[in-house]
Each structure stands twice: as structure tokens, then as C-alpha cells.
Amino acid sequence: MAEPQRARPKPTPETQHFWDGTKAGELRLQRCDACAHVYFPPRPFCPSCASRKVSVFKASGKGFLYSYVINHRPAAPGFTPPYAIAVVELAEGPRMMSNIIDCPQTPEALELDMKLEVAFEALDDKITLPVFRPAKG
Amino acid sequence: MRKNQVAVVGAAETTELGVIPNMSQLQLHADAALNAIADAGLKLSDIDGFATAVETPQQVCHYLGIKPTWVDGTSVGGCSFMLHVRHAAAAIEAGLCKTVLITHAESGKSMIGKAPRSIPADSLQGQFEAPYGVYGPPSMFPIPVLRFMKTYGITHEQLASVAVVQREWAAKNPRAMMKDPITVADVLNSRMIAYPFRLLQCCLVTDGGGALILTSADRARDFPRKPVYIMGTGESVETPMVSQMETFNSSRAFKTAGPLAFKEAGIAHGDVDHLMIYDAFAHLPLFGLGDLGFMPHEETGSFIADGNTRPGGKLPLNTNGGGLSYMHSGMYGMYALQESVRQMRGIAPAQVPNAKISVCHGVGGMFAASGTIVFTNER
């Protein structure tokens, strides 16, 4: 029997640029050309002013730990508990769910507001997930 | 909407609550519906409006033999039934129908005739949340709580006290699943589920259902039960992705629905005799007390820990024992509404003396949606 697998994202036409970005080692966000609003998750219009003129850009990959849980049970397929499910606030403003790597999955090690930087974890040849690690320096 | 124009004239839960291995989810709908129809002294053929969530209106109507002229299948999670009450009141006032039946049922524990919940891999949740190990509400709903605690100085002990106080209420309720007293230490020593929450800070998983019948206040006088009037209503939705909430320091959906209901009812917080805040997890009453404007969020933890919401306290909250101790089939909003109606009828197991105004506040999804109903027993 195959090992249970971590849930695999399936891109849509509106999100393909994001997943192309992570595969290329870039965290891509969108910015509205009309009102400069930066947003996530991807969509081809601005959720603040409704303009369809928006641009994709490479984000800094920097952020901080906004909140999290350390999940013990039940564990999702492909995960060994306990593991943290985090929400990262990016330097550009939007927040995204992620995991924190290179860090003990404990309340002592996972301090709210700690600085984080993006890393990339290839799940297969199509999908690379953005995850975060404690920022160096 | 004008206040007190529509009333609840029938209200009932399923005959059994808890573990019901001998009934499918659809039959639980029927069991609750038939109990509510009997409670109202009506016949099935009197029902001309119908609302439910998860199951479709056509599924439940056909099973029951109801031929409606108005239906509502709003399905936004556990507070769907608060939204149904609001929509039904508007429909009755507009003359679209006269007598509305609202049903909820869930075979949450036994899983008989219940479609599994799944997140499609190409949905936004499937792409941007599921890959990070979220797996059911315990891994998602508490995600905001550490930020909320840090912002407002809320302690683990205060969050544990929510479960302790609700168990005190449950002890007075023969139909509550969990009635044995617990302490803050018991809560903080119970099995870890998703830090910072432990088992006793997470809702139960049970089977059950409930149903309500609404009609115009003018007709309500002719029914056998004391009418419970819809005084004010509010609703909103925010996001299906907990990670995308505007802030973790409050719920935008709560802050929209709650004040709408208070404004429509024309009441101030001091007028509230009885309060229900849907408690799937222990942080929800704190969010609710703050977002509904009862007090600043900073004070919500100490307000509960100091005993203000316990039996005999100045703001009786979750008097059936709540989702933490009474029951929680998966969509608890209906049971919160049932308890508000019992309190307004004066027949609750843990009755609040002389209660005249009850506020019932619901949440759907992981802060995805919200509905608030203000009830009164005086017109």
C-alpha cells in the first residue's frame, strides 16, 4: 500500500503563475496597477478596487509569524504529529498559511512575531510548496 | 425588517441526542421536524415554507411530504439556521409564505447517510491551506487564538475556564452529554489536540437534530406554546479560509452580524438577560463577547474566569452547556437557537429567572460566516 500523501494542490488558470513561481524558486504576489493594493490568494482582478489591471511580482519572501497551532491529532495524511500549521504575514502585507521548517515544533521555539523567510519544498515535478524558516541574522 | 412581526411557535430537538446509531441523517431531520410540528400543534400540510442546510430543501421536503411555496437552502456552516430564521422572518413579512419549518440534523458521530466533507484540490483552500496539514476543524478553528491571546493578554487559564463554566451549566441539564464537574487543571491536563487547545476546549462530536417553526406574530397567539418573537437579526460572511481573515483579533462576520441584530432590536447590551455564543472551541465566547460589543476584548477572559457567565452570574452564557458539554453534531447553531427559545418560553432545564431578551450568536465554518438573532417573549 502506498504511503498516505500530503494534499497536492491542483492549479487553476488563475493560480498557475503562483505555482510556476514556486517551482522557479520565487514567491509571486499580485499588485493592483490602479490602487497599488497587494493581495493573495491569486486572482486576475483587484479585490480592493475591482480593477482588472494587475501585475504579478516577485515578493521578498520575508515575513513574520502571525499565529499558529501545533496539531497533535488527528494528523493529516503525510504529516507526523506534532506539527505546526502557521499563518505568516508577508512583508508586502498579505498573509498565507504555511509550515515552519528548521525549527522545533514547540511553543517555546515558535514565538509569535519571529522573523521568517521563504523556502521551497518540491512535492513532485509539478508542485513546489512555499514554506518558511526562521530568518538568518 | 420590523421587529417582533414574526414568532417561533414550534421548537424541538430530535427525540434522542448523543449517539444515535439507528437513524440516518435524513431521518434525524424528519424526527426533529415531526417533533416541532407536534410542538406547534400543526399538520405537515400547514407548512408552506422550508429551510435547511447541507441537505437540500428538495431532499428533506420530499422525504417529509412537504409542498413548499418558499425554500431557502443557505448553507454557510453551523450558523446557517440563524440565517434561515432571518430569511424566513423576511419571507413571512413579505407574504411569500405563512408557516416556515427550519430543520437541522447531522449524523456527526455515527456518520449514517452523511456525505463526507472534502476539500477539492483545485479550490483555493485545496491549494493554499490543505497542503499545510489542516485536517478538520480542530486544526483550523484555533489558528487565530495565539494571536488573540497575545494582543489582549488572555491567559491559558482563562481559556480553560470557558469549559469549566459551561460544564456547570451542563450539570443542570439532563440532556447534556457531559455533566461531571471539571476544573481549570483538568482542562489544562486533558489530551493535547491542537496547541493551545486540549480535548476539553474542543466541542463534542454527536448525532442529533432540531427544528423550528415560524409564523407571523399576529397568528402566533393562536398556537399552544408561548410565542417567542424575532426582535432583531443580522448576518454576514467573511472568508472560507481561516488564514485570510482580515485580522485574528476579531471576526469581521461577528462584527457585522451582531450590531445589525442589536440595532434592529433597538436594545442595548444591558438589556440582554440571556446569551448564547456558538462555542465550537473555547475561544469563540471571547471573540463573541468582544465583537458583539459587550466589553473590550481585553476583558473577555477575566469576565468568564471571574464567574460572570456561570449560573447565578450577571450574564448567563451558553446555559445548555454549549457545544463543549451539551452536544455538537457538527452544525451546532440549531441547538443554540433551541436553548434561546426554551429560555424565552421559561422551560429551560437551567432557566434564567424572568429572562425577557435572549441573544443567540452563531458562527459558520472557521469564522467564515455569522448570524445573530435577538429573541424576546414580550411584544
* pLDDT tens digits for range B74-104: 999 999 999 999 999 999 999 999 999 999 9
Share the mean pLDDT of chain B.
97
Which residues make Cβ contacts (< 8 Å) with residue B191, sequence separation at least 6? A72, A73, B198, B199
Cis previous bond, B224, omega within 30: no
Position B162 scores a pLDDT of 98
Q: Write out pLDDT tens, residues B28-82.
A: 999 999 999 999 999 999 999 999 999 999 999 999 999 999 999 999 999 999 9
Say what the pLDDT of residue A4 is: 76
Contact A97 B138 (CB under 8 A): no
Q: What is the ipTM of this complex?
A: 0.97
The reported pLDDT for the residue numbered B197 is: 97
User: What value does the mean pLDDT take over residues B191-200?
Assistant: 97
A85 assigned to some structural domain: yes
Q: Which helix (H) or strand (E) holds A22?
A: helix A16-23
Closest CB to B147 among A73, A77, A112: A112
State residue A73's pLDDT score. Answer: 87
In A, which residues are within 8 Å of B144 by CB distance?
Answer: 67
Contact A118, A130 (CB under 8 A): yes
- Let me know if residue A7 belongs to a domain: no
Instruction: Provide the domain limits for residue A59.
Output: 16-134
Q: Do B131 and A8 touch (CB under 8 A)?
A: yes
Report all structural domains of chain B as residue ranges with CATH numbers, in order of start.
6-113+204-376 (3.40.47.10)
What CATH number is given to the structural domain containing A48? 2.40.50.840
Q: Does residue A115 belong to any structural domain of this protein?
A: yes
Q: Which residues pair with A123 in a beta bridge?
A: none
Q: How many CA atoms lie within 13 A of B45 on its CB side?
A: 0
With beta carbons less than 8 A apart as the criterion, state whether B360 and B340 touch: yes
Q: pLDDT digit string (tens) for A103-115?
A: 999 999 999 999 9
* Closest-approach residue (CA) in chain A for B139: A71
How far from the centroid of its chain's Cα atoms is residue B63's Cα?
25
| Cα gap B295→A72, rounded to integer Å | 33
Q: Is residue A88 part of a domain?
A: yes
Question: Considering the domain boundaries, does residue A130 fall inside one?
Answer: yes
Chain B hits for A89, Cβ within 8 Å: none
- Could you read off the pLDDT of B280-319 as tens digits, one per residue? 999 999 999 999 999 999 999 999 999 999 999 999 999 9
Interval A53-102: pLDDT, tens: 999 999 999 999 999 999 998 899 999 999 999 999 999 999 999 999 99
List pLDDT tens digits, range B160-189: 999 999 999 999 999 999 999 999 999 999
Q: What is the pLDDT of residue A74?
A: 87
| Cβ atoms of residues B274 and B319 within 8 Å | yes
A111 to A28, A64, A83, B90: CA distances (angstroms): 26, 10, 15, 48
Burial class (CB in 10 A: 0-12, 13-18, 19+), B181: exposed
Number of domains in chain A: 1
Choose the closest CB to A10 out of B127, B133, B143: B127
B138 at interface of A, judged by CB pairs closer than 8 A: yes
The CA distance from A15 to the nearest CA of chain B, in Å, is: 9
Cβ-Cβ contacts under 8 Å, A83 against chain B: 133
Helix (H) or strand (E) holding A56: strand A54-58
Is A119 part of any domain?
Answer: yes
Average pLDDT over residues B328-338: 96
Residue A45 confidence (pLDDT): 98
Q: Chain A contacts of B147, Cβ < 8 Å?
A: 66-67, 112
Contact B200, B327 (CB under 8 A): no
- Asked if B132 has any chain A CB less than 8 Å from its own CB, the reply is yes
B126 and A7: CB-CB below 8 Å? yes
| Residue A5 within any structural domain of the chain | no
**pLDDT at residue A2, rounded to an integer:** 60
